[in-house]
Structure 1
Amino acid sequence: MRQEMQAMLEATIKNTITDQLKTIHNQCTGFTESIAYVSTQYEDLRNQIVDLKKLLGSTSSELKCLKVENKTLRGDLSACMTRVKALEDENMKQQQWVRLQNLEITGIPEDKNESTSELVLKVTKHIGVNIEPYELEFAHRVQPRRAESAARARSIIVRLRERVVKDRIIAAARKHRAITAKDMGIGSESNKIYVNEHLTKDSKMLLNSCKQKAKEVNYKYTWTKNCRIYVRKNETSPAIPINSSADLIKIA
């Protein structure tokens, strides 16, 4: 009896140990599978990180290339803008150069039967410069013609055959700033007549800007000579040439 009980106890212990070992084995198998899964996930993550690093490196290289390209393009754009500005300035100079022998007379009333050449000769005679008709290359109103009811007469553009004659007329006109159409017997209007150099549209805009800036800082003189713009603070100060809007900072 005692032997049977001992055998049963041993069997029970053996079965218990066996069951526990199976449980431990199963747990170890689970741990192994978990470790394998984690290892796989880690490897995948590591590969993703490697890929991301490669992508980041490629993106960084592309970014550097783009920065270099952008810098180059900015330099090219700046050079182009400088070139365009130089061409615009040169074009303006050329347009102004062909006007060196021209005058622009404003304030003369219009008449459909008028002779612009005769009107010009009357103006020059009135200011003390006698010229012959052949000294005028042409004289015409600016285009287009305004409506009959327009309050302001169109300017007359005059081209002299010699620049020295134009200069004489300009010098005389500056001494006769108060002449009117009525003074010369070419109308009853009392509006003033002005004789100036024939400036381009851009030069006129620049001249107006100069006058405004000069007025703001109490500069006394603003004028043109040979279609170039000058300012002077007073009688004793030097003349300052204004060639572009960038030169306006000189008026201070």
Structure 2
Amino acid sequence: MLRSPAKETSTSKSNTSPSRSDSDIPKLCKQSQPSHNITDNSTKGRNAKRRRASGESSADSNNLSDFKNEIKDMIKEMMCDQNSRLDTFERYIKEIKCHYTKIQDTNNTIEKSMNYMSDQLTSLEANIASLDKERKTMLLQLSSLQDKIYSLERDAIKTSIEIRNVPKQPHETKDQLFLLVQKVTKALSVDLQSTEIRDVQRHPSKKEQKTSTVTIEFCNTLTKHRLLDSVKDFNRQNSTEKLSSSTIGIDSQKTPIYIAEKLTPHEKQLFFVARKFAKANQYAYCWTSNGRVLIRKDSTSPYVVVKNESQLENMSNANSNSSK
């Protein structure tokens, strides 16, 4: 069951809060005025602080804005500088690319030229090889033709002999030359008919020379060899008084006369070189027979037919190597 609160007595009310009369109200109002002033001052202070704080914050915001603007300007400047550099770099890249393109085109042109030259060289090498082969063939043919010419020249003079160092006669005629041949055959004790002589001629020489060569062409080689053999026998039997101009009765002076078979110009040169080779390499014999040049080391060695100067060079090299 609920109970109602007890009523307060007058004594308790008087003890807890004293009573005030209407005359005390003005006093109470005057006492309460300072508290209102304090409140107003504190409010003003807070407002001033707020104003100062807002002023400081506005200054900071202005500084921050300036800083941001500076940063933006710096970034813009850096970006402009970077863009300028990039533009320059791009321009250089374009120029390099252009140069590279030109170089590449030049290299392609050079490569084409080199390929063309390589093809031309290959073709040229083939042509050179073909020409070299033809040259060797032509050299062989030329050598064969030379041998044939030399053979024809030898055949043309195979019946002829030469009488060298014969004194000249003033206003000499063919009859005098035939008479000279008869004197020579008589001195050699050779029975020779005038019909066996085909032709006689004296070789041209300088006017100041008192002697020259006389060529005699016989009708056959038998007569030629018979006369040459008789010359060898005469000089062997008369070693102190060999055949001379006085022997045949055309000059009182003893001008030596040499009789040998007629040689072609090629065989004369080869005979000259062969004599030098024989002397340098101690070959005992070097002579000619039927237009051929022969050499022999000694009486027991076989004879060698000399065909060209290269053969003598090879023989000389072989002799020098064997001596080492």
Give the TM-score normalised by structure 1.
0.85
Q: Give 1:100's aligned residue.
A: 158
Decide whether aligned partners of structure 1 residues 160 and 19 sit closer, same or farther in structure 2, where only a CA change above 3 A counts.
Answer: closer
- Could you say which residue in structure 2 is the equivalent of 1:174? 232
In 1, Cα distance between equivalents of 2:247 and 2:187: 9
Higher relative contact order (CA 8 A, sep 6+): 1
Matched-pair identity in %: 21
Note if 1:121 corresponds to 2:178: no
Which residue, 199, 210, 213 being the options, matches 1:138?
199
1:57 aligns with 2:115: yes
Deviations 1:66-100 (A, max 9, x none): 33333333333343344333323322221121101
- Residue 293 of structure 2 is aligned to residue 229 of structure 1: yes
* Distance in 2 between residues matched to 1:60 and 1:226, nearest whole Å: 57
Bigger mean CA offset, 171-180 vs 13-22: 13-22
Residue 150 (structure 1) aligned with residue 214 (structure 2): no
Hey, what does 1:5 align to over in structure 2? 62
Q: What's the counterpart of residue 88 of structure 2? A: 30
Deviations 1:51-71 (A, max 9, x none): 332332222322333333333
| Number of residue-to-residue matches in the alignment | 249
RMSD of aligned residue pairs (Cα, Å): 2.6
Alignment correspondent of 2:45: none
* Aligned equivalents of 1:22, 1:145: Cα separation in 2: 107
Structure 1 residue 244 and structure 2 residue 308: aligned?
Answer: yes
Aligned amino acid, residue 219 of structure 1: Y
**Structure 2: runs of 5 or more not aligned:** 1-54, 236-241, 320-324
Q: CA deviation at 1:24?
A: 3.6
SS in 1 for 2:234: coil
The superposition leaves residues 100-124 of structure 1 with CA deviations (integer Å, 9 ceiling, x where unpaired) of 1111112332223561112112212
CA spacing shift, 1:26–1:225, aligned 2, 3 Å? closer
Query: Conserved in 1, the CA contact under 8 Å of 2:161 and 2:260?
Result: yes
CA contact (8 A) 2:190 2:227 kept: yes
Question: 1:180-195 to 2 correspondence within 5 Å?
Answer: 180-195=244-259
Give the Cα separation in 2 of the matches to 1:250 and 1:29: 85
Offset at residue 146 of structure 1 (A): 4.2
* Structure 1, gaps ≥5 residues long: none
- Rate the CA distance shift 1:93–1:187 in 2: closer, same or farther, 3 A: same
More helix by share: 2
